[in-house]
Each structure stands twice: as structure tokens, then as C-alpha cells.
């Protein structure tokens, strides 16, 4: 991680802790640990984005570099579900540049993390809305996000030591002793605040039972990487072959670019300038980005046809260009004419319409009392033989 993955930027350690009432669900469902890590990353990412200065839309889509390692054990092997995280003090833009946030204050992170945990446990069916609301009313929520330790940019040894601590095994063999009476003595590093002891003295079978719940399952993932050190992000920027571990990444712009002065001879009208600013703001908005990325999915849901796949072979097609009306009507007409599909409805020959139905009723036609009202009838001829 230190030599090939983590960029050379400052980091801070975060420890996410949940209350004892919610820890029992993790004992019987190991998949919740992965969801807890994603919740920790999502809460941290959104918290950092809220701390970014306004007026620079590209920063709102920036992501931090984050490593999250869940742990199920405490100092004396008691159940203590929490997650250790290493997060960059700053965010990375999509071009790989880094916006430093060394002075960011993580106060208030606990509330964001608590609500995210409630949401994912409710969706998983572990708790109800009533339980979550009752826990919100506790004087002490039981949730905690600590952020005391900071790793400087060039302290790679300290960074490596912190990662080793985050991914440590549940027990230390140096603190484990077999006594002559057949008991197992495990020495803690500090006094446990709830149990009031600093060691465990148990029969071997009881000690193994205490240890069994912390043994990893086969193929269980312990280290998770998110944001700028995710596999997708690193592949896109070429960081897999050339990671920025020796030199810090380039700095991102810290303020919006200045407005360009109009060139000589150009005299845009105020209305045009306002339209350009509005279009630029719309292009940089998150809503516009989502709208552009979801157009194919919306068309597929509406017309039950995937516009990104070839109707002949069914393989995905490459988007070369996008034409919009009415600005490019001539180009659209030329393309449709070249493939023989130019048939606008306003140029089609109108079909002859049938004459309107007669509105005469039975009372209007003497002698035709059996005719149904509203049906076409023949006019009453006076000279009928």
C-alpha cells in the first residue's frame, strides 16, 4: 500500500464505532462489515465535499483516497464492532490533481455517520424506524468518530505502521500465556472501561469460543480501498503502472478560473452573455451530468429498446456524435436522406377524409321513425316512387 498505492499526501486516521445494541447483527451476518465500510466511506466523502469552497463545480465531484479496515474485536477479545480508516486530507479531481484540505475539522462527522448506519440497517431489515428514532433520543448516541492521529505527507514509515495496526490479528502471541493450572491468561494493554479488568483468565475451551467469532471466513476481505485509490480510478489515470508514491500529485486549482475577456471585434449582447453563463452553469451542474449519463437508460425504459446496442447484431455501439434539434436540423435531414429514411410527417400526402356523419335524428325525418339517432341516413326524397 505504501510503496505502490497510496499517493504522497497527508492523511488522517478515522475510527468509526457503533453502539453495543447494533453489534449483535454483525456477529451473525458477516456481509454487514462490507456495508459498514461503504457507509464510512460515503459519509466521509460527502462530509469533505460539504467543506469545499463554493464557486468551483469540479470540486463537488472530487473524491478522497481512503482505506477502510473493519474489526470485530477489542483489546480483550470482546465484541467491539468498529472500522479503522485512513483518509487523505484533501480530495482528488478526475484528472488526478489534488486539492489539499489539511486544516479540515471533522467535528460533526459523527451525526452524518450515525444517520447513514441507521439507513443501511433499516434497508437490511435489522432494525425498524421506531428503533432508530428511539436511539436518536439517547443522551449519548453510542456512535463515535475519532480523528486524533495525523500522518504527514513524507512520513511513510508512520503510514506503514498505522496500516499494520489497522490490519492486525485479533490476538498477540506476546501477551498470551498458558498457566500451569490449565488456564489461559491473555494480558490487555489497558483497563477495560466496562468489564473493569485488564486481562482475561479463562479455560482453553472458553478462550477458543471467545476467539472463534473473530476468525475470518474463507475469502473474507479485510482491506477495502475507495475513491482515488480504487482500482477503477487508478487504472483510468495510469497509477497502476506509475503510482504517485515518490512525488506528490500536482495541485488542483484553488479558485475558479477568471472570466476570459472578449476578443477585439467581438461585441456580445448582454442577452447572449447571460445565455452563455447559464449554459456553462448548467453544463457544470450535477443534475446536467446525471441527465446526460442516464439518457440511454431512460430511453430503454420508455421504449423497451436499448439505443446503445446495434439492432442487427446486438453488440454495444460506440457513440461518435450527438445531434440535437433544432440547431442541427440540416445535418439530421442529410443523414436520414442518405439512408433513405427521410419521411417527415408534415411532408406526407394527406389522406382523403370521409364526409361527416349526419346529425339528423328520427324526429328530423318524417316516416323514418326506426332510424337510430346519430346514424347516417338518406335524405328524404319528395319524388320517391
The model's pLDDT over 198-222, given as tens digits with 9 standing for 90+, comes to 999 999 999 999 999 899 888 888 8
The model's pLDDT over 216-264, given as tens digits with 9 standing for 90+, comes to 888 888 899 999 999 999 999 999 989 999 999 988 765 544 444 443 4
**Residue 291: pLDDT band with limits 50, 70, 90:** low
Residues 6+ apart with CB under 8 A from 206: none
Fold of 11-168+215-237: Replication Protein E1; Chain: A, (3.40.1310)
Query: Left, alpha or beta for 196 (phi > 0: left; psi -120 to 50: alpha)?
Result: left
The model's pLDDT over 165-202, given as tens digits with 9 standing for 90+, comes to 999 999 999 999 999 889 999 999 988 888 889 999 99
**Residue 7: pLDDT band with limits 50, 70, 90:** very high
C-alpha cell at 237: 489515470
Q: Where in the chain is the domain with CATH 3.40.1310?
A: 11-168+215-237
The CA-atom distances, in angstroms, between 2 and each of 7, 148, 238, 287 are 8, 21, 17, 37
pLDDT greater than 80 at residue 322: no
Amino acid at each position: 500500500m505504501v510503496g505502490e498505492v497510496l499517493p504522497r499526501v497527508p492523511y488522517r486516521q478515522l475510527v468509526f464505532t457503533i453502539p453495543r445494541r447494533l453489534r449483535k447483527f454483525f456477529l451473525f451476518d458477516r456481509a454487514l462489515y462490507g456495508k459498514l465500510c461503504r457507509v464510512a466511506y460515503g459519509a466521509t466523502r460527502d462530509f469533505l465535499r460539504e467543506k469545499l469552497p463554493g464557486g468551483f463545480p469540479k470540486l463537488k465531484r472530487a473524491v478522497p483516497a481512503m482505506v477502510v479496515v473493519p474489526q470485530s474485536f477489542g483489546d480483550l477479545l470482546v465484541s467491539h464492532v468498529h472500522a479503522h480508516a485512513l483518509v487523505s486530507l484533501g480530495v482528488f479531481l478526475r484528472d488526478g490533481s489534488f486539492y489539499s484540505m489539511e486544516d479540515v475539522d471533522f467535528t460533526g462527522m459523527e451525526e452524518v455517520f450515525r444517520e447513514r448506519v441507521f439507513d443501511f440497517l433499516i434497508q437490511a431489515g435489522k432494525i425498524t424506524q421506531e428503533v432508530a428514532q428511539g436511539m436518536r433520543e439517547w443522551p449519548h448516541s453510542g456512535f463515535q468518530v475519532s480523528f486524533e492521529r495525523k500522518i504527514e505527507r513524507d512520513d511513510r514509515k508512520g503510514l506503514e505502521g498505522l496500516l499494520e495496526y489497522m490490519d492486525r490479528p485479533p490476538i498477540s502471541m506476546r501477551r498470551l500465556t498458558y498457566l500451569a493450572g490449565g488456564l489461559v491468561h491473555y494480558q490487555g494493554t489497558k483497563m477495560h472501561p466496562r468489564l473493569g479488568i485488564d486481562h482475561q483468565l479463562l479455560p482453553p475451551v472458553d478462550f477458543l469460543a471467545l476467539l472463534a467469532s473473530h476468525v475470518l471466513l474463507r475469502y473474507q476481505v479485510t482491506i477495502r480501498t475507495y475513491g482515488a485509490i480504487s482500482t477503477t480510478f487508478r487504472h483510468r489515470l495510469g497509477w497502476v503502472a506509475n503510482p504517485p508514491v515518490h512525488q506528490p500529485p500536482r495541485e488542483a486549482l484553488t479558485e475558479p478560473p477568471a472570466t476570459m475577456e472578449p476578443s477585439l471585434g467581438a461585441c456580445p449582447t448582454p442577452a447572449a452573455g447571460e445565455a452563455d453563463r447559464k449554459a456553462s452553469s448548467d453544463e457544470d451542474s450535477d443534475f446536467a451530468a446525471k441527465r446526460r449519463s442516464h439518457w440511454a437508460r431512460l430511453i430503454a425504459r420508455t421504449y423497451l429498446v436499448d439505443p446503445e446496442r446495434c439492432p442487427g447484431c446486438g453488440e454495444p455501439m460506440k457513440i461518435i456524435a450527438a445531434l440535437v434539434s433544432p440547431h442541427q436540423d440540416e445535418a439530421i435531414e442529410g443523414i436520414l436522406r442518405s439512408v433513405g429514411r427521410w419521411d417527415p410527417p408534415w411532408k406526407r400526402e394527406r389522406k382523403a377524409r370521409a364526409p361527416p356523419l349526419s346529425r339528423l335524428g328520427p324526429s328530423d325525418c318524417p316516416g323514418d321513425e326506426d332510424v337510430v339517432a346519430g346514424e347516417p341516413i338518406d335524405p328524404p326524397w319528395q319524388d320517391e316512387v
